[in-house]
Structure 1
Amino acid sequence: MTGSLDNKTAVVTGSSSGIGFAIAQHLATEGANVVVNSRSQDRAEDAADEIDGGDTVLPIEADVTDRSSLQSLADRTVEEFGSLDIWVNNAGINIRGPAEELSLDDWQTVIDVNLTGTFSGAQVAGNRMIDQGTGGNIINISSMMGEQGQTGRTPYNTSKGGVNNLTRCLAVEWAEHDIQVNAVAPGYIETEMVDDAQDQIGFDKQDVVDRTPLGRFGSVDEVANCVTFLAEGDHFMTGEILHPDGGWLAFGWGSKD
C-alpha cells in the first residue's frame, strides 16, 4: 500500500463482484474511503466485509437506472466521508442474441444500464464535484467491444461505443472544473460474464487466447490497476480510453499462430 489515495473518497457502482469488486479493493488498498454498491444491500454488505479497509468501506444499495437512487448514493457518501473525489461507473449488463430477433425491451434494458446509467452516475458525481470546487476523477468502465462489431452483441457493443464518446464529451465539458473523465475498456477478462458468454454462445476460450497477442485472458486485478492509475489523477489525461486488452485491438486480424 502506497497511500496514493489517502483522504480521497471513491464510489464504485456494481462492485459486489468481478471487476467492480477488484476496483473497490485496489482503491481501498491505496487508502481511499470506498463505497461498495449493488442493487442488493445484502450483496453490497457481503462484498464490503471482504475488502480490507475496515471503517473506510461503506456498502450502499442503489440501482443505476434510478436517478434518485444514484443521487441518494452520492449524498450518503458525502454525509459519511465529507467529499466525493472518485466515481467509477462500473455497473453493466449484456443481453445476447441475433439483432433481428432482439426485442426492444432487451435493447432498452442494456442501454438503460450501460449507457444511460453511466451518464446518470457521471452527472450526479460531476455536479457534486463542481459544487465542491476541488476537481475529481470520473472513470467509466467500457469495453473493447465498443470499438468493433460482433455478432450477437449489438446492444452491448453499441452501448459501450456510446460510453466511449460520452467519456470524451464530459471530459471536454468539465475540464474547466478540473474534473478528469476517462474510461477503461477491457478485452477478454476472466470473469463470470465471460463464463456466461461461453455457455450461451459457445465460443472457445482457446480461440480468444490464439487471437490475443499476449496469449492469455486478462485478470480483474489488471483492470483495477488501470482504474487506480486514472483515479490518482497525476497524469494530465482526460477523455482517454485505456484498453487493457492484451493487444487485441492493435492486432488487425487472425490468429497469432
Structure 2
Amino acid sequence: MAGVSNGRLSGRSCIVTGAAQGIGRAIGEALLEEGADVCFADINGRMAEDVSDANHERAARRGGKVTWAEVNVSERVQVRAMIAKAVAVFGKLDVKFNNAGINKPMNFLDVTEDNWRDIMDVNGLGVLIGMQEAAKQMISQGRGGKIINTASIASRQGFDNVAPYCASKWAVVSLTQSGARDLAKHNITVTGFGPGVVATEMWRQLDKDLMEIGASEREGQAIEEFSADILRGRVATPADITGTTTFLASKESDYMTGQIVMIDGGMTLV
C-alpha cells in the first residue's frame, strides 16, 4: 500500500545505473527498503526488467514505486530517455547514482586504444553525461538533489594490469569534485563512494580475465592477493556497501559534497 513507509528515503525518486546485478542491484534494493522510488537501469534491459519485477512487492510494502530502463550510459540520448522515463513514472528525480562501470584487464604494455576507449567511455564519459543530464533535470525542478558516483580503490592508486580502469576511476574523483563546485549554487550535492574487493560477478570475471592474460596462475589467486591487506580481514559483500550509499542518498548527508567515501575494509588509508 502506497504511503505506508516511514523510511529515511520516503518520497525520494532515485535512478541507479548498472543495477541489474551486484552492487547496483543491492543499492537499489536498499533504497526501496527505505521507502524510495527506484529506477533500476542497465545496459542489459532484460535483466533490469527482471530485477524491477522481482522488487514490486518490496516497493509496495515500503510505500515506493519501482521501474526499469535499458541504457548505455555513454550515449546521451539514451541517458535522457532513461531520466524521462523515471520522471514520467515518479514525477521527479531527486537522487542519481552513476554506478555503471566496466573493466577488461590487460597487461600494461599490451593496453590498446580500443581497450582504453571502451573503459573510459563507460566509466568516465558515462559518469560525466549522467551527472550533466541528472543535474539539468534537478535544476528544472528547482528543488536541488543528490548525485552519487561509484569510484573504487583504483581511484586511489594504480594497478599494473588494469591501468585504463584506474585512470577512469581517478576521473570519477575529479568529476565528483568539479561537479560539486559547479552545482552547489543549484543546491545539488555530488558525492561518491569507493568500494574495495566486493564479492560480485564483476570481481569473479576479473579473476578469470587476469588468469587469461597470465597475471595470475589459478582461480581465486587475484582476489586473494588483492584482499591480503584488508584490515577487516575479509572481502566485502554488496550489503557492506549499502549502509553508506543509503546514507549518501538521504538528508543525513546534506552537508556533504565533493567527497569520496572509501568502503574498502581499510585497504587504502587516505
Q: Which residue of 1 aligns with 2:122?
A: 113
Mapped to 2, the partners of 1:204 and 1:104 lie a distance apart of: 25
Mapped to 2, the partners of 1:246 and 1:3 lie a distance apart of: 27
Q: Find the residue that maps to 2:20 and give its secondary structure.
A: coil
Q: Which residue of 1 aligns with 2:197?
A: 188
TM-score (norm 1): 0.94
1:92 matched to 2:101: yes
Matches for 1:1-257 after TM superposition, within 5 Å? 2-51=6-55, 52-54=58-60, 56-201=65-210, 202=216, 203-235=221-253, 236-250=255-269
Is the 1:180–1:233 contact (alpha carbons within 8 Å) kept by the matching residues of 2? Answer: no
TM-score (norm 2): 0.89
Is the 1:171–1:181 contact (alpha carbons within 8 Å) kept by the matching residues of 2? Answer: yes
Unaligned runs of 5+ in 2: 211-215
Mapped to 2, the partners of 1:185 and 1:229 lie a distance apart of: 14
Deviation at residue 204 of structure 1 after TM alignment: 4.2
Q: Deviations over 1:99-144 (max 9, x none)?
A: 2212211110000000000110110000111111101010001101
Higher deviation after alignment, 148-157 or 38-47: 38-47
Q: How much is the aligned-residue C-alpha RMSD, in angstroms?
A: 1.4
Mapped to 2, the partners of 1:60 and 1:208 lie a distance apart of: 33
Question: Sequence identity, in percent?
Answer: 34
Moved over 6 A (4+): none
Is the 1:137–1:233 contact (alpha carbons within 8 Å) kept by the matching residues of 2? Answer: no
Deviation at residue 217 of structure 1 after TM alignment: 0.5
Mapped to 2, the partners of 1:115 and 1:18 lie a distance apart of: 20
Q: Aligned residues, how many?
A: 251
Unaligned runs of 5+ in 1: 252-257
Mapped to 2, the partners of 1:5 and 1:107 lie a distance apart of: 37
